[in-house]
Structure 1
Amino acid sequence: MKLLILNGPNLNLLGKREPGIYGDNSFEDYLKTLQEKYKELTIEYFQSNIEGELIDKLHEVGFTFDGVILNAAAYTHTSVGIADAIKAIETPVIEVHISNVHAREEFRNKSFIAPNVKGIITGFGLQSYELALHSFF
């Protein structure tokens, strides 16, 4: 099984950025743990702060991968483009969030991508990614 973890803006700062909300582990360290634990899977990773690069990556893998785990970060609440890209591809996408977005600012309650994804996992820290991974078994 081939999965892509796709992270949006500012998630390159995990481990440094607001550790009270996002924890103190880098995503790269967490990814190594996932790859070691799930050796039977091919888990690829891509992060960008640029909306168009995220859309390009969805187009690139959207007909060949078995699943995408997407944390679009702030683009979740603003990007019709990413929502349309998810709708256009065949590969199922799980929306994930590290924090419980519904316990934060009101604008975070609206997800433009939610109507086009298989499901949403929010609020379990980095474990949200592993929970999403399990949804593909």
Structure 2
Amino acid sequence: MPSRNLLLINGPNLNLLGTREPHIYGSTTLKDVETAAQQQASSLSISLATFQSNHEGAIIDRIQAAREEGVDAIIINPGGFTHTSVAIRDALLGVGIPYVELHVSNVHAREAWRRESYFTDKAVAMICGMGVYGYTAAIEFAARHMKTAAAKEKL
């Protein structure tokens, strides 16, 4: 089976998982999330790269590099950039890599402005409100999506 490559991107303030508003985001740290994600990806024969930045340009640079690296799918938790970044949206569309939008909290049950996303309409899936388990669900979905896409390419 050919190697499948997955990129997990976390946006601003997600480095504070585990300490930032634990009543909303829980007590699991980003390092814990990434460790579990690596183990899950490995069990699915997927190569997983992780990236976190509080800087919009760094996230854009990482997305653009993903195409050159042969990344097959992206999981992105854009954090606060969800509601503000046309530039990250354009980068995702520009590289043509399918992506899953992910949020730890249920953005639809929070402030009205959190319900607006620049990413959802072009995402292959959107996961929210599952806590950090959403990362597990996103990896499982991405694995299935990559497998289906690879099968279609063989036809």
TM-score, with normalisation over the residues of structure 2? 0.84
Return the letter of the residue paired with 1:35.
Answer: Q
Map 1:51-90; keep pairs closer than 5 Å: 51-62=56-67, 64-90=70-96
Q: Which runs of 5+ in 1 are unaligned?
A: none
RMSD: 1.1
Is 1:122 the counterpart of 2:128? The answer is: yes
Structure 2 residue ranges without an equivalent (≥5):
145-155
User: What TM-score results when the alignment is normalised by the length of structure 1?
Assistant: 0.95
Equivalenced residue count is: 137
Are 2:12 and 1:6 equivalent residues in the alignment?
no
* Alignment partners' CA distance in 2, 1:37 and 1:88: 28
Moved over 3 A (4+): none
Q: Is the 8 A contact 2:37 2:139 kept in 1?
A: no
Please identify the structure whose Cα radius of gyration is greater. Answer: 2
> Are residues 1:93 and 2:99 paired?
yes
Kept in 2: contact 1:96–1:128 (CA 8 A): yes
Segment drifting more, 25-34 vs 88-97: 25-34
Q: Are residues 1:47 and 2:46 paired?
A: no
Residues in 2 aligned to 1:36 and 1:112: alpha-carbon distance in whole angstroms: 30
Residues 1:15 and 2:21 aligned together: no
Q: CA deviation at 1:34?
A: 2.4
